[in-house]
Amino acid sequence: MGWTFITNSTRKWLIEDRTKSWTRDFVNIEWIKRYGHDIPENISQEDYRFEAVCIKHCYRGAAWKGTLWTIWEHRAVNKLTGDIVAFSRWIGCDMFQYDKKDNGWGYKDMDESCGPCIYNCPLSYLDMTPPENEEWRIGVRDYHGYRGKLKVGERLELKRTPVPWVTVASVKPLKGRGPDGTIYRLQRKFIAGIYESDKV
Domain segments of the chain as ranges = 4-144, 155-194
Quote the CA–CA distance of 48 and 82 in Å, as a whole number: 9
User: Greatest CA span in the chain, whole angstroms?
Assistant: 74
Q: Are 159 and 190 in contact (CB under 8 A)?
A: yes
Q: Could you read off the pLDDT of 136-189 as tens digits, one per residue?
A: 999 998 888 877 888 999 999 898 889 999 999 999 999 999 999 999 999 888
Residues in contact with 194: Cβ distance below 8 Å, sequence separation at least 6, in sequence order: 148, 154, 155, 156, 157
Is the per-residue pLDDT at 45 higher than 70? yes
pLDDT tens-digit readout, 128-149: 999 999 999 999 988 888 778 8
**Interatomic CA distance for residues 38 and 29, integer angstroms:** 13
Distance CA 116, CA 27 (A): 28
Helices vs. strands in the chain: H and E counts, helices first: 4, 11
pLDDT at position 93 over 80: yes
Report the SS3 class of residue 156: strand
Cβ(165)–Cβ(158) below 8 Å: yes
If DSSP codes are grouped into helix, strand and coil, which group holds residue 150? coil
